[in-house]
Structure 1
């Protein structure tokens, strides 16, 4: 549906209720004349805004899937580029996952976390394997996973997405994505495959398990700086058979250990250095559904190198400055 700019100004009360923002623009809450709640993304910058606008409309404009956010319409008047989405009342996964429990803040229970990961996996599997053209999202992270009133997850923000024809397996594209979720092949400049989304999904899984960012935390010990990186700790504990210690302490032990082990194994298969060692998202779905077994993953080479760096313990990366 094509919207007039004045209609969106009215619906958002002149863009007064901001839901969030990013490198390409901001998102505002609005209400249409039929009382439908919407989220309006107003893109900034003539060049980048146009690129993201075209990428989102072309990639998800015709997609209908329960785990993909619905694009209701758009506005294209002069230099104004706006996208209109269904509004997700529970916001993005990062806002639910990383806020600390205090007062009335709700901690995501284990079953909700597991169902969210399964829903995201199904959405990505659909994009990679069931669309007319394979769609590579290129920026899977908690901020781009929205959650509705029933905690149903929906993959969102396709501004960096790349389309790959069904007769192709790779596509050359400019470097994109978010640090911390980027597959190693991005750095080599080779043509990418859907396996970059698989890698990012694996990093998200580790954050869902721990309830914390994978990002390194720096400590100063006797004049040396040490960086604690959760994936290193996690692969160690997985191989030791101690997954229990990796699960978000805010759950107070109320979780399914078998499912936690399954998520952890899937996560490390997804972040293997070699893309050919990673599963497809279809295989991930079958594993999470309990329809397919998975073996113990090897330690990714990059993590192994980090574990051996300096004199730090195996769960720490020495980073003397």
Structure 2
């Protein structure tokens, strides 16, 4: 009996020991097998670069490993096509980021994707996936960012999205989703369901998002138009009191008398204005701040600090009848002819050609190019055929002597990466600056303007060249002395030649004007330590340039409202993205086509983050910034020349993300 019990005890101990032994688990070898199965099923340019004879799977393009497991799989715009096979993702169980965006993948999502319970970031936008949004997605508890936009998903938006308690980003736009939007309780930072077949009212919990998140549906309620039956005061028509006949008659008589009074006042004002304008009728047709700009303004760019914003300006139409506006206000004209101040004239710098004078400038036909921090800018076409840019300064607070000293210092700046100041005019009422005209407009317009089919994609070579040119211009300014800074660096102050060479404009003007009336306009570029925009250090310039680099790389304006919750600017948003280990997701889609320069893109991104450091002493000098851009540009320019980007699956409506 004892022997039998001892044998049972020994068997029990042996069984317990076997339970403690490590069992067979998926490893890098199983990950490799899954990746090769994916390669065989959907092909693609990047997958063909996978060297199957190389046992180091983690060195394959688009793959990132940790602790001998694949944790990141990024294949954006890799020409993948067909259906994702079952059995692949069931082995890639350590995935945290999966990006298959901008391909031609179709069919339904494979069900074994549910095995990737560590998944935090899932980017499937810009494909041809169809069917319902699968329920197994709601079983991924760590999901933070989900982008299913621009596919063919159908059916209703499930209330089960509330299971994803960590979800911050949900993009479902440009699909075929129908029904109403459920009341989502998750703390979303980014949300978009535009261009579907949704109906009903916008749930209260989602009404904080802009109307752009809901357009292209049959939806109503804030932030869209009110739903039928809704009104601001909810007054039941049964309780509305009827007006008496006497009250109605009184209203009519009062309205008629008021209308007559308004007509009389308008006639008197018109006569008074007409009398004043007879002395300067040739310059009275200026219509500067109100000129219509086609296409609106780019997201987050509410002003133009340079002299050109690159948009088509309907100046002639604004004046009426095709007539051209004059370049300066009547005040300057009267000072020359009417007030006897004949000595006032244009002052030219250096060897600038003096082919015109103030009279020629005042007679020139003009288009309004933009209204910026320091004044309104015009494109002036002179009678001799020359074209110049004229900036009409506002809020100049310094004396004439100080103005001339400071502006002459600006005029003495001579560098190929600066927009040269050719001449200036000063009077008590008018301050005009004359620059070379840059026909390609500003970097801001190039990045945020035309998003349509006719847009020319900005490749790595163009963007890195613009970054280098702007850096060289700012470095030159800083080399003029420790107290010399630009003071207003932003994308609308980086102008471009026809060959996309960058030219820095508006340098030296921050010291001439008072506090801007709308300081929030440049807040996206302003360093944290700057309290007075007239007093900007060189380190603060470096911060602004860092934001400019981030704008170049991400394609997003610094004040783009959909970046994140209020108060999170572009540098902090990028830093949070990098911390979440989805660095590639910050780059503009137009850059992701050039996959063999991703390393250089990441290096420039790191440089931008360094420049936009919170504390000034942590930021590099502009000389170091220029050197680093030059080095990474030289290492990539040869590779870029041999790359043929796959543009077949790019999506215009995804370009802002």
Moved more, 117-126 or 251-260: 251-260
Whether contact under 8 Å (2:411, 2:421) holds in the other structure is: yes
Residue 117 in structure 1 maps to residue 467 in structure 2? yes
Matching residue of 1:68 = 418
Instruction: Evaluate the alpha carbon distance shift between residue 45 and residue 240 of structure 1 in structure 2; reply closer, same or farther with a 3 A threshold.
Output: closer
Residues 228-264 of structure 1 deviation map (CA, whole Å, 9 limit, x = unaligned): 6543342233345543211112445236212211111
Whether contact under 8 Å (2:423, 2:433) holds in the other structure is: yes
Among 552, 575, 590, which residue is 1:235 paired with? 575
Question: Separation in 2 of the partners of 1:265 and 1:120?
Answer: 18
Question: Separation in 2 of the partners of 1:182 and 1:240?
Answer: 26
Question: Separation in 2 of the partners of 1:51 and 1:143?
Answer: 29
Question: Separation in 2 of the partners of 1:59 and 1:245?
Answer: 43
Question: Separation in 2 of the partners of 1:125 and 1:99?
Answer: 28
Cα RMSD after superposing both structures: 3.4
Gaps of 5+ in 1: 164-172, 293-321
Moved more, 91-100 or 202-211: 91-100
Matching residue of 2:618 = 277
Residues 9-68 of structure 1 deviation map (CA, whole Å, 9 limit, x = unaligned): 223x1xx31111124321111234553321011223564897996586234201110111
C-alpha displacement at 1:181, in angstroms? Answer: 1.1
Whether contact under 8 Å (1:140, 1:201) holds in the other structure is: yes
Question: Separation in 2 of the partners of 1:262 and 1:80?
Answer: 46
Question: Separation in 2 of the partners of 1:291 and 1:253?
Answer: 18
Instruction: Evaluate the alpha carbon distance shift between residue 213 and residue 78 of structure 1 in structure 2; reply closer, same or farther with a 3 A threshold.
Output: closer
TM-score, scaled relative to structure 1: 0.74
Matching residue of 1:158 = 507
Residue 245 in structure 1 maps to residue 581 in structure 2? no
Gaps of 5+ in 2: 1-346, 349-355, 634-657
Whether contact under 8 Å (1:202, 1:266) holds in the other structure is: yes
Question: Separation in 2 of the partners of 1:147 and 1:56?
Answer: 25
Greater C-alpha radius of gyration = 2
Matching residue of 1:315 = none
Matching residue of 1:42 = 392
Question: Separation in 2 of the partners of 1:144 and 1:53?
Answer: 21
Question: Separation in 2 of the partners of 1:174 and 1:42?
Answer: 15
Matching residue of 1:169 = none
Of structures 1 and 2, the one with the larger relative CO (CA 8 A, separation 6+) is: 1
Instruction: Evaluate the alpha carbon distance shift between residue 233 and residue 128 of structure 1 in structure 2; reply closer, same or farther with a 3 A threshold.
Output: same
Instruction: Evaluate the alpha carbon distance shift between residue 64 and residue 281 of structure 1 in structure 2; reply closer, same or farther with a 3 A threshold.
Output: same
Among 596, 606, 612, which residue is 1:265 paired with? 606
Among 350, 355, 361, which residue is 1:8 paired with? 361
How many residues align? The count is: 274
Whether contact under 8 Å (2:515, 2:532) holds in the other structure is: no
Residues 113-158 of structure 1 deviation map (CA, whole Å, 9 limit, x = unaligned): 11101111111111112x2675211110011111111111111113
Among 370, 377, 394, which residue is 1:27 paired with? 377
Matching residue of 2:629 = 288
Residues 260-280 of structure 1 deviation map (CA, whole Å, 9 limit, x = unaligned): 111111111111121111000
TM-score, scaled relative to structure 2: 0.38
Question: Separation in 2 of the partners of 1:103 and 1:275?
Answer: 42
